[in-house]
Every structure is written in C-alpha cells, then in structure tokens.
Amino acid sequence: MVIRKHKSGIKRYAPELISVIFGMGNAMFFVAARQYGSPMNPKLEKLDDISFVGACSIMGAFLGGVSYMGLNHFLNWDWREMIFGFRYLARMDDKEKQIELCKEAIRKDSQYGQVSIIMGELLLKKRRYAEALECYRRGFEANQFSRSYIFGHQRAQKVFNWIVSIGNRLLIRKKEGTSDLDYCISKAMSETVYGQKDAAEKKWEDILSMDLGDQQRMELEVLCALSLETLGDHEKAAEVRRRAIGKMMETGDFEIRGESRNEVMRYQGSRFISNTFLGKRSCEQDLEDKIRRLEEEGEHLEELRKRRPHQVARSYGIMGRDSAEPVHVISYDGESLDEIVRLNEKQTYRAIQEAIDILADIHANKKGGTTEKSYFIERIKEVGVRQIATRYHLDDVLEEGVLGEIEEGCTKVSQILAGATHAFYRDANLRNWSRDSVGNIVAFDLEGGRYLPVQLDLVSLLEFGREYLTQREIKKLVKYYMKQYKHYSGERLDEKAFWKQYEAARVQRHFELAGYRARDATRAKEKGKQEEATKNHAMMLFHLESTKEAAQKLLGKRSAMPIERVVDKLYERVRYAA
C-alpha cells in the first residue's frame, strides 16, 4: 500500500504554526479592543473578566482552526502542481503517458482523490475496467488533506474532490468527446462508488442490453460483476461472473504460464480478462483428486485473505467440475514480478521487500511439520537431474551412475534442510506474485498443503533469475525476513543456523529450478517460441552455475565434488543446445 510521506522541517508544520500565531493574534486583538475600544466600535461594552477571557479563547480557537483548514488546503505546497498539472494532462494525446503521470502522482501522495478519479477515466478509455473501478473507489474515498479532520471536514473534502474531478474530466472530454457506451459505463462506475445500488443496477441493465460484440459483452459482464459485488449484491454478482467465465472457458483461448506442474492459464482473447482472472489446472490423474487439490488451494487462499485481504488473490471457485479438466478460477490484477524486476531499480527492491513481508506473515502463522531427508534427495534426482536429462535426450548420462553420485553428494544438504524451520510452502517464485494497478504486491497460485523449510521459498523469491538483486540486497532481505518472522510469530530464528540452511536451500532449489527451466525451454521450442526458449535455456544454465557455487560454499571444495561432477557433466552437454 502507498503510504503518504509527510514533509519535513518547517513545511510539515507550517499550517499549524501559522494557525496558532493567527489565533493568538485574534485573541490579542479582542484584548486590545476591550482595553482601548475597537476602531469599528469605539463604545464596545465591557464584559466581566471571566466571560471576556472565555469569549476570546473560543473566538481565537475558532479563527485559528479556520485558518489551519485554509492553509492546510490551499498552502499544501502541492496544490498548484495539482491544478495546473491536470490542464497539462488534458492536452496530452498519449493515454499511457497520462496514466503513468497519474500513477506517479498517486505514489507521491495517495490522498489526492481527484488524481485517482482522473486515472479511472483514462483507464476506462483503455478498456482496463477493473483497474478503473478500483481507481474510482479509491478516489471518492480518499482524504484529500489527510491531517485535517475537524468541523466535519471529511465530508467537505469529498465534495471538493468531486467538484475538482468533474472539472478535470471535462477538460479531457472537451478535447476528445465521448460515446454513449463510455458515458453509461462512467455513470455506472460513479453510482457504484457512491453506493447508489438501484441506479447502478439499472445502468448495467441498459449497458448489457446494447448491441455489443461477444468479446466486449464478456468484458462488461465481468465489470458488472465487480460493480455488483462492490454494492453488496454478491448473489447476482456471482451469477453474472459465472456466465462470463463460462463463455471464457468455451473459447479455449488460453496460454499456459508458470513453472508449476499444475498448469496456470492466462486467457488470451482479452487483456482486461487476462488481468482479472487466472485459471489453474491440477496435474492429478483422477477427477476427484483434481477437484480435491483445487479446492484445497481455494481454502488456503480464503484463509490467508482474512489476514491480507488486499495482498492475497481471491478464489472464484471451480469451473467445469463435470469435465475432464476442471479449472480453479482466481483473481489476478496487474503484472507478475517476473515481468517487472530489473537490477538496481528501487521499485524492484521495494516490491520484493513487500513480498518478503507477506511471506514471513504466511510462514509465521502456518508453521509446523517435518520432512524426511529422502524427500530432498529424490527431488534433486527427479526434478533436477532426470528432468534435464530427459528434456535434452541425455539417456547416456543417466546410465553413467549420476543419480547415485548426486545422492552421495546431497546427503549432507538433506540433513541440514530436515532440521530447518518448516512452514506452509508458498512456491514463492517471481511468477507467483503480481503488482496491481496501484502498486500493491499480491500473492496467488498457492500450492497444496505442503510444509517445507522456509528457506526454499526465500531462494525462489530472491534468486529466481539472473541479476535482479545484488548480493548485498539479498543479505539485507534475508535479515528483513528474519526480523518480520519474529514480529509475526514472536519466535526468534537462530541467524547462524538460518544462513547455513539458506545455503543448503540454494543447492536444493537451484537444482530443481534448473530442471523446471529445462522443461519450459523445450516446451517453448516445441511451440515455436524461440525467444522464450532461449531465455529459459539461459536461466537453466544460471541455476546450474548457482547450484555448483552454493555447494562449494556450503560443503567445501572436497565434499562438494560429487555435486560438481554431475553439474559439470550436465552443463557441458546442454550448454549449446538452445
């Protein structure tokens, strides 16, 4: 969530200081008037001392309060930029640039309600309806001047927001014009935010009765469901949403995303729907087992949403229970962290730090369980070594006894991990987090009820690809995780043991991720997506290199030799096979 940053120094307290001085000045004026008479009324009647002091105090406080409100409103140091900025915004032709300017303004100060409403107008024109609805809601609920709540001021500032937003909307519409459909949607949005249920429902009926294309109707039904849910009509919202999702499933226009063996599906026919819903299919063979696994994930999402309602995706239930491939539909908004992280960017560090905070909260409140040592060795053998060998047709490598060699080398790794703190396994890689339209980090795609060492999730989040965090940043974020874990659980983690377990998790997880990247690379190549195949192949090599480096750091040069030999053998055989 964006947090308002107050100004420092005299600018921060200027309205308060000037208001106190102004109030004291008014009180002194009345004292002088009593003593010497007022220029406006030289024959001012004298009051008794107690009444006069009380009257002066009340009048001084009242005038000081009024001056404080005025100064806090109109000398807020940013208001000129706000007013003139929107006139400049209205003259721009590039909508994406307009939206980015609004986002920047919201990041600077999330309390500017009219900024959110203007952004909602722009998003409407880009058919990014879900984001637009959220901007409308935030805009009309915002506290324009967050430090002033006296004399019923909260209601007044909402009215002020509304008046300014109307003027700014007219500046944009005057230049561009608007269609009947745009107007109706905008009207329905406003009525939704104001809580005018009957008017909003009637407007949505009018919209959906228009002559619309199949794709546009599907999008507007999804938006209608969001609106009805905001108004509290959950039953009708669910009915409209099911109808829209049913049409989406009938098209079959999906792209498989993610490294999970349980397929994550993104709808390709509409950017709006793709940024509103995700589908998840289970890898289980039996239909009952598929439904059970998907239901478990939905239960985990709803449980965690009670703690983090805006930072955990929402489950919309399972579609196609009677079909061979039931799909769990969950909410999705924005873009995945995998798409936005870049080295040496502040937003990358901040986004991952926020994800770390969510992860620590999940682990602290869903901890427990143990894992057999054999589990970790089998995972490296099957997910790491065998996946790479199979995908790149290296059967001869498997015949050379590498599985036995890797078991020998990873025995110490498995012993260290078996003794680590265990918690709910989040599968916290970058593809399983998104950043929504206002900058919140959201967790989605929660795995089944496995409890594994917490360090595995940390490695997935901090080292999922090449160079998006420096080593110094990784160390800071691991320490931040330990601090937040203590905050949420009340339990202090042993730092020395934790770092040793983290290095063991690096060996384990990097080998697993190398196998997943090998799978993704060959899948992409089969589909003719050469650029994606090349990227995943490069990431596979990176994870193999990281496995070797982590093994040397954890075990020492001599003890790490069995792991190194297997990694080197695989690396040399697949190095030029992109």
Q: Are residues 353 and 303 in the same domain?
A: no
421 is a domain residue:
yes
91 is a domain residue:
no
Q: Are residues 322 and 406 in the same domain?
A: no
Residue that is last in its domain, among 266, 299, 331: 331
Residue 496 sits in which domain range? 340-574
Query: How many domains are contained in the chain?
Result: 3
284 is a domain residue:
yes
Is residue 444 over pLDDT 80?
Answer: yes
Q: Which is more confidently placed, 446 or 289?
A: 289
Q: Are residues 283 and 315 in the same domain?
A: yes
Structure tokens at 324: 């061979």
Q: Are residues 448 and 415 in the same domain?
A: yes
Q: Are residues 344 and 297 in the same domain?
A: no
Kindly tell me the sign of the dihedral angle through the C-alpha atoms of 460, 279, 350, 312: negative
* pLDDT, tens digit (0-9, with 9 covering 90-100), for 85-104: 444 454 455 667 767 777 76
419 is a domain residue:
yes
Q: Are residues 569 and 539 in the same domain?
A: yes
44 is a domain residue:
yes
Is residue 488 over pLDDT 50?
Answer: yes
Q: Are residues 424 and 507 in the same domain?
A: yes
Give ∠ CA 424-426-430 in degrees, rounded to 5.
160
Structure tokens at 378: 């089998």
State the chain's mean pLDDT as an integer.
Answer: 77
562 is a domain residue:
yes
pLDDT at res. 292: 87
d(CA 312, CA 339): 19
Nearest Cα to Cα of residue 426 among 452, 408, 463: 452
Residue that is last in its domain, among 41, 59, 74: 74
Is residue 294 over pLDDT 80?
Answer: yes
Q: Are residues 508 and 541 in the same domain?
A: yes
Cβ-proximal residues to 548 (8 Å cutoff; 6+ apart), any chain: 560, 563, 564, 567, 568
Q: Are residues 398 and 509 in the same domain?
A: yes
Q: Are residues 345 and 316 in the same domain?
A: no
CATH number at 357 reads 3.90.1200.10
The b-or-e profile of 243-267 (16+ CB within 10 A means b, else e) is bbbebbbeeeebeebbbbebbbbbb
> What DSSP character marks residue 4?
-
112 is a domain residue:
no
* pLDDT, tens digit (0-9, with 9 covering 90-100), for 393-419: 888 878 778 888 888 888 999 999 999
CATH number at 307 reads 3.30.200
Q: Are residues 325 and 353 in the same domain?
A: no
Q: Which is more confidently placed, 56 or 270?
A: 270
188 is a domain residue:
no
Q: Are residues 512 and 412 in the same domain?
A: yes
Residue that is last in its domain, among 331, 360, 392: 331
pLDDT at res. 53: 57
Alpha carbon 363 to chain centroid, angstroms: 18
